[in-house]
Structure 1
Amino acid sequence: MLNFSQLTQDQFSRPETLQAVKAEAFDLVDHLMVPESKKLAAQLEDRLKTMPTMAASAPEIYSQYQKMVIYLRLVALMALDNNTVLELIQKNYLDSFDAGLDLNERMTGKMYSIPDLIWPEYAEQLAYALKQNIQKIGQKPIIIKGETSPQAPTIQNWLADYDRTLGPDLKNDLEQEEYLAKNPNAKLLDGNEKIKLRNVLKFYNNLKPIPTAIIEKAFRDIGVYDALEKEPGESAPAKQPYIIAEPTIIQAPKRYSRPDNRDQYLESPEEEPKTKPAPYIPPAQKPSAPVQPAYTRPVASIPPSSPLKQEAQIPVPPKPTPPSVQQPASPRPAFSPAQQPTPQIPQPQPHSQPAKKAAPQFFSQPAPNLPKIPQYEPPHAPQQDPPRQAPVPQSPYLEPINVPDLPKTSSPAKPEPDPRIQGNIVDLKNIEK
């Protein structure tokens, strides 16, 4: 930041110093640097007070420095005291357009820095200060509604015509646009001048208090004034707009008292029934369905002469002899191991493994005490033809044969070609032969 304390009046009055101050000031304005803008504005103002003759010696440069102070103060509007803000609104409102600032946005930050109880009174002071502004919007004079003589197009006269046309209450954006489009005075303004007037009307409309009727309607919509409504048979109470209904008393819930007998929280076990249930009686069968007697194995009768403790002798049927153990029907002479006939083994089925070893034959000679049982002969397996093999396809490829391997046979001699004569050229091939 620049240091002005080391500059003399002659140096401070030079155009080079003014350009350096402008560059520094507009950089702070473009970036909305509030603390830095407030500090630089205070330094410039203090330095200008120490040079009273500069206004006479260099009036143009002196006025440029004053504009820089105003621009920096408008940036730091939310950080200034209330009286300084009122002075800026009354004298320098339109200078915000030259600096590229919107005072509606800057005033929003100032509003949040003021307590709610003080803001309504301070808003009235701001509106009054704006009505005293004599800066002009436009070049042609205007006629205020209700008057015949033309007046200067100052902010003071524009707001007077606006209040007389639409009323002093709060207006919405649609009514403001209708005033700018239909009012004969507003039709005299060009595009930039209308933008300035629209900004002033919006700033002025934001400072107006909200009408009481709108507040009452909002509270009635949320049910605050239900207690003030007229009851049947009673006179209507006097209107008290800022009285709300008394809050309902919320009673604390009753304390839960736990019974002394804690056993009742336990689940009681199921008690056994004192009376036994009746035995199950199967349903009677239908007479049409015959009852089949149960099968009982016959038991041999015990002779009466035998004692009771003697067990009954039950004949046991003989066990069947396996086919491999049964003996032939007629006795055969004994054979020696060399003359013993070999048993016939069934041929294996296709796709089955052949028997590796014949089953051993037991009991080569008939037992003398065993009954004669016809010999079991295993069935002969039908002979089957061996499976046919598919013919192997012959490959067209033939193995080359060496010439020496072939038998030497005499081949007929090839006929010798005759010498060819073409023109005057004689083919001497085989001429000697």
Structure 2
Amino acid sequence: MKKSMIFVLAMLLVLSVGAVNAGAVELRVYSMFSGADPASGVYEELIEEFKAEHPEVKIIDESATLDESVKVRIENDFASGNEPDITMYFTDSQAKPIVESGRVTPLNDILANNPDWKAGFLPSVLEQVRYSDGNIYALPITGFYEGLIVNLDLFEKYDVKIPETREDLFNAVETFRTNDIVPMAAGLGMTPHYNIEHSILKVGGAAAHDAGIADGINPMWIEGLNHMKELYDADAFQKDTLTQDWSGARQLFKQGKAAMLVEGSWAIADAQNEGANRVTIVPYPKVGENGNQTDLIAGFTSGMYLSKEAYNNEKKQDVVVELLKHLTNKEAIKKIAEANGGLPAADVTPAGLSKPYQDGLEMFKNADHVSLPIDAQIQRPAWQTLVDGVAYIVSGRRSAENILEEVRKIELQTK
């Protein structure tokens, strides 16, 4: 009798679990918090917290480092109606394919109906991510700043001044090269993104950098790209810079074989190589008369999008909004900012930041002007043409003018 009763109870338990699983809500989430991203651990904790609070929800986490192949995958998913329920993606010009797919939900009314949640965001940040049609489609978590990451041990060992001017920069290049240290690690052949932006900004100034290319080719863009060629000709980069991407350049810096790296706040933790390197981040030096030493590339250019299909699904609507709240509330923003050293989208003060991150936030506060990256201002096909053209420019196979003419032509075709 007891065995029969145990069997019956076991079967009831199996059936009840099956019923729960059959009724489970499945949510797909994509975020950039993956791989070496310093906030990936915090993000995973947030997901686990939500799962513990909502056992009826099954979360499929599709997070991955956002490289060009992942960008293409995301845009194709939206184009084909196979997008995740929540997607972390760009809020600048690169947002156009997914916003104009018609498959993301405007969040204005949702935020208005949740005033405590909305109040957690800095109003200025919500304005920065507002799309051109007046709607807010994505909720930011942290922003970024870019600059020149330097290895303090190498600068002190060889008595080199941290560069603030063109003369300082080329003196540093000469000293480090003489001592068999790579002056500046870069992946010019595949990922010259940050070198492009800083060269144009610090040669031509913020107005030139922010002018875009649709209305004509600014001479300062030509001079900025030629600055990169000058550095290349001065042997500032590693020998295989034209065949490497950002990961190879960063690895060289981590190993203490390179003195400088042009990247952003997201790279600081990795650049420290678990404390093996003493690093800081400073503004890229002023290298042209129109440049300004304290001007920066920084801002909020990514956020969490909510799928319209998920929001309009009666079974998913409440729980997918709850997940979006959980990932973007004030406390979550604070935790992620403390992990990645980024600029918080909420009115919070990150605690326990290491010295390089403190330096970065101070650098941001002292900036005379903050510009968004060039790839936030021009269309992606045009930007990719510029990226691909750098190797030709620095190696002397094509002129900066020639590449920029092609970039402008593509910008006008795709705008």
- TM-score of the superposition, structure 2-length normalised? 0.20
Q: Which structure carries more helix by proportion?
A: 2
Q: Which structure carries more strand by proportion?
A: 2
Higher RCO structure, 1 or 2 (CA under 8 Å, sep 6+): 2
Is the radius of gyration larger for structure 1 or structure 2?
1
- TM-score of the superposition, structure 1-length normalised? 0.19
